[in-house]
Amino acid sequence: ETGVTQTPRHLVMGMTNKKSLKCEQHLGHNAMYWYKQSAKKPLELMFVYNFKEQTENNSVPSRFSPECPNSSHLFLHLHTLQPEDSALYLCASSQGTNGKLFFGSGTQLSVL
């Protein structure tokens, strides 16, 4: 248990569906992140929230919409996704400037 919980663990959706990924951290951290992990590729940073404010958006398509209502919760809203968006989506949190990230187990997303 890393203290970061992601739901659901697996998600299959069609290209016209709307779904949301949820992340919750119980560590009291102030920063939260969304990463995308595709096969044989480096982890790609998607979004960063620091004290609930979005501080980074790495040119992510608008079909991915993050939401951070408070420092403990992070959502990723998905709509009209493409098959190439199929990947493992990882949430992480951190505290301070030590760079030590705590990751959830991820949501394995399949877009049909």
Interface contacts to another protein, rule CB under 8 A: 2, 4, 30-31, 33, 40-43, 45, 48-51, 55-56, 88, 90, 92, 94-106, 108
Q: CB-wise, 53 or 80, nearer to another protein? A: 53
Least gap, CB of 92 to another protein (angstroms): 8
Q: Among 31, 12, 32, 8, which residue's Cα sits nearest to residue 21?
A: 8
Cis bond upstream, residue 8 (ω within 30) = yes
Q: CB-wise, 42 or 69, nearer to another protein? A: 42
Give strand pairing partners of 32: 49, 93
Strand-strand pairing, 107-111 and 10-13: parallel
Exposed / middle / buried, residue 66 (Cβ in 10 Å: 0-12, 13-18, 19+) = buried
Q: CB-wise, 80 or 108, nearer to another protein? A: 108
Q: CB-wise, 31 or 111, nearer to another protein? A: 31
CA distance 89 to 105: 9
